């Protein structure tokens, strides 16, 4: 039985606790967080996930568990990793370290995280749930023989969109790392690259060659939206971030030289029923599409009954309405790939190995996100085959992340 400890007890930790109900031989042994730890531990005990205890420091938690998961805000990932390293030096014996996406806010931070994990010789899992979405995995498996005969996917379009994040720190580019490109572009870039990757190759197989990007502040820089953010302590007239991003990445197959393209579109202005994940892969003579808002179930709630709605997010993540025709997804932890990413990580850690996606992979995704910000900032295509550019990216911090988004964002005042 693998004992898991979560650092952070907010939105994503809750999702992961739900997911663990469907993972064998794992129990939630501990939680450590400034806010929400008691409640998460109580729910976990109630759901039979184990005798979940609350720990007041990362070190105490690490000493009580086999696997520790970083589910805290992006600005805290690196400091938490330092605490984990210290705990290991002081005797904690870990079988695995997990970190939620994005690994870090920039490449310098991601580098340190990945190097620290390597020095500790503890296996890692970079949690990018979309690559584990059962619908995507199934489509890839069923098309594997077609792909082998006809060739790999040549164009992948991916999108993740909703109406805006739930906590103020996500909106603050200095804390989160940027706007929607850092927050959700990391998902769409990773899954786009995966759709292009031949099914018999590892997820980091393709070589990224070039990146272009367009970013803007289309909705949340205007009234009344900017005013609503101010009420939550976020001032987009001073430190704006992008609420729209389109990133195009060219990849090369290192064995055949064949070039393919991934387009990742993300926005925080998707005023629609709720969160939508969209993946479209076009190969030679075949294609597939995944749309998380297509469900076999729906509901209707009339105006007369709407007052009785308890929590509309029970039906769908980032739900935007409490009445009318509503989409119902009965098992979001499975739909979005959370359960399968746990199954993959737990099985790998039991064998002393990295999960399918490790911190090095998370570092690579961070590099692509930084290249996207650089492309937007310089209004240039970024050539990732140029060693000078790669060196520049190592210490690059986007102007948006520095809190200077007004200099580069269309739509910022
Ligand atoms: N895979 C996904 O789709 C997905 C979805 C949401 C969030 N995330 C990622 O998960 C992470 C957490 O996001 P969230 O939505 O749960 O945030 P949240 O704000 O809802 O919760 C954050 C939790 O971390 C705790 N915390 C804050 N500072 C901390 C610190 N210094 N040390 C330890 N704990 C601290 C808070 O008290 C809270 O319990 C982020 O990296 C985010 O990008 C991923």
Q: Which residue has the tokens 């570092």?
A: 363
- Compute CA distances 91 → 58, 114, 120, whole Å: 13, 21, 12
Half-sphere exposure of residue 322: CA atoms within 13 angstroms, side-chain side: 10
Contact predicate 80/108, CB 8 Å: no
Mutate to test the pocket of ligand 1, among 100, 102, 186 (most ligand atoms within 8 A of CB): 100
Backbone angles phi, psi at 215, to 5 degrees: -135, 150
Beta-strand runs (E) in 192-336: 207-216, 244-252, 259-267, 276-283, 286-291, 297-301, 324-328
pTM: 0.97
CB of 99 closer than 6 angstroms to any ligand 1 atom: no
Contact predicate 70/100, CB 8 Å: yes
CB of 35 closer than 6 angstroms to any ligand 1 atom: yes
Q: How far apart, in whole angstroms, are the C-alpha atoms of residue 305 and residue 287? A: 42
CATH code that applies to domain 131-292+366-407: 3.30.360.10
Look at residues 101, 50, 44 and name the one whose alpha carbon lies nearest to residue 77: 101
- Six-digit token string for 25: 């031989």
Contact predicate 63/40, CB 8 Å: no
Contact predicate 6/35, CB 8 Å: no
Report the atom number in ligand 1 closest to the C-alpha of 35. 37
CB of 58 closer than 6 angstroms to any ligand 1 atom: no
Mutate to test the pocket of ligand 1, among 6, 9, 10 (most ligand atoms within 8 A of CB): 10
- Six-digit token string for 128: 């990018």
Q: Which residue has the tokens 């030679």?
A: 284
> Residue 154: is it exposed, middle or buried by C-beta count within 10 angstroms (0-12/13-18/19+)?
middle
Q: Where do the structural domains in the chain lie, given as residue ranges?
A: 2-128+339-358, 131-292+366-407
Look at residues 151, 293, 197, 181 and name the one whose alpha carbon lies nearest to residue 248: 181
Continuous segment of H or E residues that includes residue 158: strand 155-161
Sequential pLDDT tens for the chain (413 residues): 999 999 999 999 999 999 999 999 999 999 999 999 999 999 999 999 999 999 999 999 999 999 999 999 999 999 999 999 999 999 999 999 999 999 999 999 999 999 999 999 999 999 999 999 999 999 999 999 999 999 999 999 999 999 999 999 999 999 999 999 999 999 999 999 999 999 999 999 999 999 999 999 999 999 999 999 999 999 999 999 999 999 999 999 999 999 999 999 999 999 998 999 999 999 999 999 999 999 999 999 998 888 778 787 888 899 888 888 889 999 999 999 999 999 999 999 999 999 999 999 999 999 999 999 999 999 999 999 999 999 999 999 999 999 999 999 977 76
What SS3 class is residue 24?
coil
Q: How far apart, in whole angstroms, are the C-alpha atoms of residue 366 and residue 102? A: 7
Q: What letter does residue 259 receive in the DSSP assignment? A: E
Look at residues 214, 245, 217, 244 and name the one whose alpha carbon lies nearest to residue 229: 217
Q: Count of residues for the chain?
A: 413
Class of domain 2-128+339-358 (CATH, top level): alpha beta
User: How remote is the CA of residue 22 from the centroid of ligand 1, in Å?
Assistant: 22
């Amino acid at each position: 039985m693998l004992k898991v400890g979560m650092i952070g007890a907010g939105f994503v930790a809750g999702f992961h606790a739900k997911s663990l109900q469907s993972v064998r031989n794992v129990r939630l042994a501990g939680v450590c967080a400034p806010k929400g730890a008691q409640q998460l531990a109580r729910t976990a005990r109630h759901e039979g996930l184990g005798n979940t205890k609350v720990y007041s420091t990362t070190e105490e938690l690490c000493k009580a568990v086999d696997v520790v998961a970083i589910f805290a805000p992006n600005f805290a990932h690196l400091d938490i990793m330092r605490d984990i390293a210290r705990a290991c030096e002081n005797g904690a014996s870990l079988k695995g370290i997990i970190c939620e996406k994005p690994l870090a806010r920039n490449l310098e931070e991601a580098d340190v995280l990945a190097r620290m994990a390597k020095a500790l010789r503890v296996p890692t899992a970079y949690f990018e749930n979309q690559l584990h979405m059962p619908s995507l995995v199934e489509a890839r498996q069923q098309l594997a023989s077609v792909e082998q005969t006809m060739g790999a996917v040549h164009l992948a379009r991916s999108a993740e969109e909703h109406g805006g994040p739930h906590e103020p720190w996500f909106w603050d580019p200095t804390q989160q790392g940027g706007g929607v490109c850092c927050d959700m572009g990391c998902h769409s870039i990773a899954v786009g690259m995966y759709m292009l990757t031949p099914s018999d190759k590892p997820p980091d197989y393709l070589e990224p060659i070039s990146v272009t990007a367009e970013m803007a502040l289309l909705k949340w820089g205007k009234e009344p939206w900017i005013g609503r953010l101010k009420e939550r302590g976020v001032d987009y007239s001073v430190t704006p971030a992008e609420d729209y991003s389109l990133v195009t990445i060219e990849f090369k197959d290192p064995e055949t030289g064949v070039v393919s393209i991934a387009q990742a579109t993300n926005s925080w202005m998707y005023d629609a029923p709720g969160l939508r994940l969209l993946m479209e892969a076009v190969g030679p003579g075949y294609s597939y599409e995944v749309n998380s808002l297509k469900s076999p179930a729906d509901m209707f709630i009339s105006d007369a009954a709407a007052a009785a709605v308890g929590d509309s997010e029970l039906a769908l993540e980032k739900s935007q309405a409490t009445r009318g025709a509503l989409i119902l997804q009965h098992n979001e932890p499975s739909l979005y790939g959370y359960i399968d990413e746990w199954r993959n990580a737990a099985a790998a850690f039991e064998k002393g190995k990295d999960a399918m996606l490790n911190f090095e992979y998370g570092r690579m995704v961070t590099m692509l996100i930084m290249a996207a910000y650089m492309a937007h900032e310089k209004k240039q295509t970024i050539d990732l085959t140029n060693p000078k550019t790669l060196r520049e990216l190592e210490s690059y911090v986007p102007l948006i992340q520095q809190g200077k988004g007004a200099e580069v964002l269309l739509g910022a005042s």
